[in-house]
């Protein structure tokens, strides 16, 4: 059971990183294609990437803590 949870955490972490990278690339390409749309905003175009990055780091920290707990219980 713990091995399945550990494998699920690995998949969850990998998918989260992939989604973050994909959305960051899309946001960058959208900015390069339509820079005038982002001039109107009061925040810089990359702020949403930074917020998503912070959320990703928090989620990864939680996943790593769960993985450490699982490793200790398996021993």
Whether the per-residue pLDDT at 75 is higher than 80: the answer is no
Summarize the chain as % helix, strand, coil (round to 5). 85, 0, 15
Please report, for the chain, the start and end positions of each structural domain, with discontinuous segments joined by +. 2-74
Q: What is the pLDDT of residue 2?
A: 84
pLDDT 10s digits, 25-70: 999 999 999 999 999 988 999 999 999 999 999 999 999 999 999 9
Q: Would you place residue 3 in the very low, low, confident or very high pLDDT band (cuts 50, 70, 90)?
A: confident
Q: What is the pLDDT of residue 33?
A: 96
Q: Residue 51's CB: how many other CB atoms inside 10 A? A: 11
- Rounded to an integer, the average pLDDT of 16-32 is 97
């Amino acid at each position: 059971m713990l091995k399945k949870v550990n494998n699920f955490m690995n998949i969850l972490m990998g998918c989260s990183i992939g989604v973050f990278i994909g959305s960051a690339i899309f946001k960058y390409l959208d900015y390069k294609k339509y820079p005038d749309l982002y001039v109107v905003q009061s925040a810089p175009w990359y702020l949403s990437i930074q917020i998503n990055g912070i959320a990703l780091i928090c989620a990864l920290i939680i996943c790593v803590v769960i993985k450490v707990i699982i490793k200790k219980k398996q021993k």
